[in-house]
Amino acid sequence: MTNSVFTPHGKHLIAGEWVNSDTKFTSTPASGQAFEFSAADPALVDAAVKAAEQAFLTYGYSSQANRAKFLNTIADEIEKRAEQITEIGSNETGLPTARLQGERGRTIGQLRLFATHIELGDYLDRRFDKALPDRTPLPRPDMRMMQRPIGPVAIFGASNFPLAFSTLGGDTASALAAGCSVVVKAHNAHPGTSEIMAEAIHAAIKTCNIHPGVFNLLQANSREVGQALVQHPLINAVGFTGSLGGGRALFDLCSSRQSPIPFFGELGSVNPMFLLPEALQKRGKMVAQGWANSLTMGAGQFCTNPGVAIVIKGDAANIFIKATSAALEYFGPQTMLTEGIAQAYQSGNKFIANSTGVQKIFTSTCNLREASPYLYQTTGDIWLANEALTEEVFGPLGIIIIADDETQMIEIANQLKGQLTCTLHLDDADSALAQSLLPILERKAGRVLANSFPTGVEVSNTMVHGGPYPASTNFGATSVGTMAIRRFLRPVCYQNIPTNLLPVELQ
């Protein structure tokens, strides 16, 4: 294990070479030393994408075993740099050591899970139709189908998960597992963390003797680079986790290309919780404490942060509101990932606070890059009439919606936009209402939970981390779990192809 302090050199990784550029920007860490980084331009984007295309000509047709070895070797290289990754990640983002250690473990586990998954081969969805030469009135040809990698993929690093959703996060791991080469635009909030993760991949490329263009890293602090990347004609898909505004702009660029490409964007979600009457009556205080813990976890900077709770008016609702407010008193200010995120949180809080029909329940003070929790309540009528209240506020801010009755609770569910998650808190006596809500919620979200909280996304075979727009731009995809690999594959049917020409997996 490497114990020395990591000092970034500030360069891009293109075709296996660390490349400088004339334009620079300086990092803005939450603590510790700032460093200078090269800023990419369209010419460097072009070089990186062309390197990825060259790598795909071999990597895209490599064996599952070789790709699995590559993923496992990357995991090994991350482990070698464990302490360095934690140190620079904490300095840049302000995230605590324990959080980054857990996120690093998740990233390593994800790589190893994907390696095992692709070696099993089920993800290829192989299908066979034997030739029926004597079938009447027409014979049937020999047909075989399997999933094939789509080519170079562009990945945008996320701000809120510097390891698990950024340079070497789920999007990159999925693309590499599928057999695609990758060009990553690093997030300028943690460029040093991105660089050390790129070094781990670079070392694995050398160990496994893979074409160096299979992974390319571009540092940048301008939108121009992202625009050039998604519009490059050799890019075949884009993975993105970020704001609704930024994601929608990139989505539109992908759609307006001469050859449109899929944009797998995770954009925004308030992740509503429905507290059904019996559960609210029996366990309201317990749910309130759990919600406060979930709402404030990581300064509320989780895409699955449950920002909205829906209850039915009455004494149990009043007790829940008081219990949540009391629970939030124990959570002080936390450092946010960037100054921009902190400013957006303060702006979002101000909008909610000044909205007609919204009542302040718990307030605090936010200074500079720090965030403290806020809690508001409103009625079902106000919520249904004001669509602006349904927009995500990225941070530890909660809104309690007080519905008149079960009918209005169902109406609120029906009016929801697409979500990553929806949660039911219920007891046995709530089954009838739950049966009415569940068919609605499964159309609104990629993951529906019962009696738990959504801030914890398991990396597994069954996880769906996606949902209808604006939760994501492709409701049929997930950015977490083994099914995420399928985003970067497409089915190809081989009809009457000689056996020796078929992919080995179909022979």
Active-site residue among 254, 303, 366, 422? 303
Q: Strands (DSSP E) along 363-396, which ranges?
A: 370-371, 374-379
Cα-based distances in Å from 200 to 66, 195, 213: 17, 9, 15
- Quick count: other Cβ atoms within 10 Å of Cβ 382? 17
| CB contact at 8 A, 158 and 267 | no
Name beta bridge partners: 422: 448
Active-site annotation holds for 303: yes
| CB contact at 8 A, 187 and 338 | no
Question: Cα 328 from chain centroid?
Answer: 27
Stretch (H or E) spanning 48: helix 42-59
What angle (nearest 5°) sits at the alpha carbon of residue 150, between those of residues 146 and 152? 155
Active-site residue among 53, 195, 266, 392? 266
Burial classification of residue 199, based on how many CB atoms lie within 10 Å of its CB (0-12 exposed, 13-18 middle, 19 or more buried): buried
Would strands 374-379 and 397-403 be described as parallel, antiparallel, or unpaired? parallel
Task: Look up residue 27 and give its two tokens.
Answer: 């990092």
Q: Which amino acid is it at 147?
A: Q
What are the phi and psi torsion angles at 125 (to 5°)? 50, 50
Active-site annotation holds for 103: no
List, by residue number, the catalytic residues.
266, 303
